[in-house]
């Protein structure tokens, strides 16, 4: 899939502008899914006991590592916040991803802490945290787009 996306994306030329980040994203997701597969195999063979904390930690690390490079995503149709306002304007795209990047890192750290602490409210805390790191950039992009359109 990662090999084909630059060729079918209407903004395919932009992939060259963030090729190292794109490669990082590709290998990060491969390692993440490999980790999920290893976890599933260890669980199925009885080597480890089903503990949601492992998945929670893996997802938290994914958020942190994605947030670390999200600000470098260039304007495209497949990687990043692909909503009408970011796709309509390249400046909105850039500003949205620059805002989202630290939010995802902070959100990943908060999810990691919630998973390690393991309180009774962990599930609700994780859901609220994930909602914030997704909804805040979307709302921000809308208002940024509206401001740019008025100008």
Q: Where in the sequence is the domain holding 23, given as residue range(s)?
A: 5-150
d(CA 151, CA 147): 6
Report the pLDDT value the prediction gives residue 103, as an integer from 0 to 100.
97
SS3 79: coil
Helix (H), strand (E) at residue 114: helix 90-117
Report the pLDDT value the prediction gives residue 18, as an integer from 0 to 100.
93
**pLDDT below 50 — which residues of the chain?**
none
Report the pLDDT value the prediction gives residue 121, as an integer from 0 to 100.
75
Domain count, the chain: 1
């Amino acid at each position: 899939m990662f090999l084909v996306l630059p060729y079918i994306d209407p903004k395919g030329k932009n992939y060259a502008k963030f090729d190292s980040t794109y490669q990082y994203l590709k290998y990060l997701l491969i390692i993440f899914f490999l980790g999920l597969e290893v976890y599933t195999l260890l669980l199925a063979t009885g080597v480890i006991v089903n503990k949601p904390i492992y998945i929670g930690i893996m997802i938290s690390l994914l958020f942190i590592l994605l947030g670390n490079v999200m600000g470098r995503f260039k304007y495209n149709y497949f990687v990043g916040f692909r909503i009408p306002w970011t796709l309509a304007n390249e400046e909105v795209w850039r500003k949205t991803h620059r805002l989202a990047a630290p939010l995802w890192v902070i959100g990943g750290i908060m999810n990691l802490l919630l998973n390690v602490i393991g309180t009774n409210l962990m599930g609700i805390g994780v859901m609220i945290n994930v909602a914030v790191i997704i909804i805040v950039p979307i709302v921000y992009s809308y208002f940024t787009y509206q401001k740019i359109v008025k100008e």
